[in-house]
Structure 1
């Protein structure tokens, strides 16, 4: 693609044109989907330089430029023909680059021994069945980044379902198969999962559609994935065990800290990848590649985010809101106009940003307590997003983001609960530990944490933190059985006395069992008289 002055603007391949037409994009400008982040060579370029760009960097079409003028192109077929004819004479001068490298030691270093042995068993089983088995997905990427990740995803060149059944039998584990998508999930005895998929090709009938699945090869399976950094695989068959396979320049993108899609229609076929791109960009401290950023902007402009199913949007957004630093993701989503493209009421102003930071700080503090209670971070951030919106607008926003009716009801109920809590704290008068305990007892821990994050009062924050760390776990120094032994009968008076003892204990008025029994005797005498 050239400008009016025959200067190169980009390239577009026949495959991209065909797929764009299939998606009904025939009237779209070429510039929307042409590849911009490309390289060119001078007419005097050496073969090794051409090979590096076409083969190692996966640029199928290479413009030949003298100065600013395009003089021709070299295709992959042209290069292969030259290499075939002159392989003997040029072999020594070819640019030294390899798509594979051994990472067996990294596997051994990053994985528990039992899991490492499981992968070896999987490779041996695959070889015995005539299948090639590969470790793929985020775990491969994270191994190279030295990030902990034990999510096992396997791709099988062959019948993934029959392989999964055989492996589950070998591991004495449960298996659930999904014939339509040619996938299976093995659940090990320690409840860890192994996801298994047949190497497959996916295609989309229209933007945002669910994928249609066909059997394929490893390379085509990896090509259907979202970003280059997620396209690496590690061979598990005994002959190649521990060999890293990189068809699409993922190692280079990891080194250059770049998020890059594999083809120009990636965000057309699955617009939810836009949110995923931002999540990975901010998680790893990477940046969107020039071409990828342009494609994000084109997809937003075309309104494709409104065409994807809201539940898929929820999946991606909840992942963002569960990140260690969702604030950075939200800043970037706002900067690129993605939030407004999802819903007109979805904004991230300074007050919401401050509340996000407070939630993050509160959750970090709570997680360090190791209480093992389940808190869904995304739900707290969703509360911050709806703020004080009228219920009808809040429902509209949450529904458009893919929350189900029961989830929306829970969010709105939590908002009412938190507002009621903070309203009570705002009232004048003493607020002793027993008062705080009565107010917060029985409340959902997520609601309590959101109240702690939302209040701007240091005193209220301190009271809520004391309730979480101490007061809610307080046990009276005596039991009902102790009170029965001094003359109480089971019933209303017993329960009332225990409650009062507990409140006095929280307030420091009763410090031990002796003082508790003294109070109980006086209480009983007063009731009798």
Structure 2
């Protein structure tokens, strides 16, 4: 346990050693804190987000680190003593150790500098309240002991989720959603006092006090979990889902859809961004009213908003997609929908339909006719409705194999023009 930082990648060890040495020059002390320490104890892979607690002046240290490490300051919040640096592919969050006071439930806190021990005690769960001091010598991190005044390592070994104080969920109800994610990912069980606090917070409607933006941030983090279905299943058991997305519940069908996505036997996952597709798979069974409620409640980015709108329409077309359709007929049904929405339908469909949609996404949707609009104009087709119609029909003929190359495409166009004149 004294040598946890040895498990970090050597390039990250080098960055943290440089950071520790630089911090010492401005009378600051750096601590590795939070999820990285927890995951080092569990011997899990370390992500790109690195949390550092700073006993010292973050506003003075951040620009020094950025300049020396060749990084970029991507955010800074002097009122909270925080700054974010991008260094290589890591995102390093610096936060001055602090105490905090929440004047009302679910609002941002008032903060003041404080020692590390106080800072750890104001955090959410004991397993996130462990730290390792970063000390460097000759460009290398020295092995330092785990600092664990709140017994997070004991809780972690027992797979126990424990809140650190009795006002925790009143102060910040997003901790309920964070707790669900952690418990699902790490197979944790809330200890009795924590379970009681969660039940009380839900009964008192604390989640409804949060802005939609704060809940949406937590939902986006759920989309990037290794097993979002497990998060939904646990949120259902904790009776959380109705507070954030009415109509969303775990089901075996939901789990099967997400399992198909994870296994991705047809190789479709790489064709669309993961987050909208996973969101669509989670929300696939919602009623039209519930989908509309999601769109109204949350300020969704355009790809998510488009997906929810399209999902309502595309689900109604699912029964029309059969193996008897020609490629052009299938394209006529699907070409106006985003790739993400069609991918959702693929993972939600029956085996035969899923295979057809997969072929459409891989082979037919990207297919382009041998001739462009410019080519058709060079052949004497004037801009206008006829040109648009010929391009559409030429695509259909290409999809169905009637047109296979430029020669057959030109012959096909001349035939169409002759037929139109006769």
TM-score (norm 1): 0.69
Shift of 1:431: 1.9
Question: What does residue 55 of structure 2 align with?
Answer: 157
Shift of 1:369: 4.0
Does the 8 A contact of 1:134 with 1:236 survive in 2? yes
Residues 411 and 512 of structure 1: is their aligned pair in 2 closer, same or farther, counting only changes over 3 Å? closer
Report SS of the residue matched to 1:470.
Answer: helix
Partners of 2:248 and 2:48 lie apart in 1 by 35
Question: What does residue 118 of structure 1 align with?
Answer: 15
Does the 8 A contact of 1:362 with 1:449 survive in 2? no
Shift of 1:234: 2.5
Q: Which moved more, 1:174-183 or 1:362-371?
A: 362-371
Partners of 1:233 and 1:367 lie apart in 2 by 44
Shift of 1:126: 0.5
Question: What does residue 142 of structure 2 align with?
Answer: 241
Report SS of the residue matched to 2:164.
Answer: coil
Question: What does residue 42 of structure 2 align with?
Answer: 145
Shift of 1:167: 1.0
- Written as runs of structure 1 = structure 2, the 5 A alignment for 1:221-236 is 221-236=119-134
Residues 367 and 306 of structure 1: is their aligned pair in 2 closer, same or farther, counting only changes over 3 Å? farther
Say yes or no: does 1:129 pair with 2:30: no
Partners of 2:244 and 2:389 lie apart in 1 by 52
Question: What does residue 435 of structure 1 align with?
Answer: 329
Does the 8 A contact of 1:140 with 1:232 survive in 2? yes
Shift of 1:413: 2.2
Residues 249 and 375 of structure 1: is their aligned pair in 2 closer, same or farther, counting only changes over 3 Å? same
Shift of 1:527: 4.6
Partners of 2:293 and 2:331 lie apart in 1 by 35
Residues 433 and 229 of structure 1: is their aligned pair in 2 closer, same or farther, counting only changes over 3 Å? same
Does the 8 A contact of 1:174 with 1:187 survive in 2? yes
Report SS of the residue matched to 1:261.
Answer: coil
Partners of 1:498 and 1:324 lie apart in 2 by 44
Question: What does residue 472 of structure 1 align with?
Answer: 365
Say yes or no: does 1:167 pair with 2:65: yes
Residues 104 and 451 of structure 1: is their aligned pair in 2 closer, same or farther, counting only changes over 3 Å? closer
Say yes or no: does 1:403 pair with 2:298: yes
5+ long unaligned stretches in structure 2:
none
Partners of 2:98 and 2:376 lie apart in 1 by 70
Say yes or no: does 1:418 pair with 2:319: no
Partners of 2:394 and 2:306 lie apart in 1 by 35
1:231-277 CA distances to partner (integer Å, 9 max, x unpaired)?
A: 22222222673423222222222222222222233223222212211
- Written as runs of structure 1 = structure 2, the 5 A alignment for 1:44-59 is none
Report SS of the residue matched to 1:101.
Answer: coil
Residues 307 and 513 of structure 1: is their aligned pair in 2 closer, same or farther, counting only changes over 3 Å? closer
Question: What does residue 344 of structure 2 align with?
Answer: 450
Does the 8 A contact of 2:155 with 2:161 survive in 1? yes
In the alignment of these two chains, the number of paired residues is 413
Partners of 1:116 and 1:105 lie apart in 2 by 8
- Written as runs of structure 1 = structure 2, the 5 A alignment for 1:494-513 is 496-513=389-406
Shift of 1:192: 4.3
Partners of 1:500 and 1:362 lie apart in 2 by 34
Does the 8 A contact of 1:259 with 1:292 survive in 2? yes
Question: What does residue 380 of structure 1 align with?
Answer: 280
Partners of 1:212 and 1:381 lie apart in 2 by 39
Partners of 1:373 and 1:231 lie apart in 2 by 37
Shift of 1:136: 1.8
Partners of 1:150 and 1:133 lie apart in 2 by 18
Question: What does residue 230 of structure 2 align with?
Answer: 328
Residues 397 and 437 of structure 1: is their aligned pair in 2 closer, same or farther, counting only changes over 3 Å? closer
TM-score (norm 2): 0.84
Shift of 1:483: 5.7
1:321-340 CA distances to partner (integer Å, 9 max, x unpaired)?
A: 44232222222222233334
RMSD: 3.3
Question: What does residue 383 of structure 2 align with?
Answer: 491
Shift of 1:461: 2.5
Does the 8 A contact of 1:343 with 1:397 survive in 2? no
Residues 484 and 347 of structure 1: is their aligned pair in 2 closer, same or farther, counting only changes over 3 Å? closer
Residues 420 and 404 of structure 1: is their aligned pair in 2 closer, same or farther, counting only changes over 3 Å? same
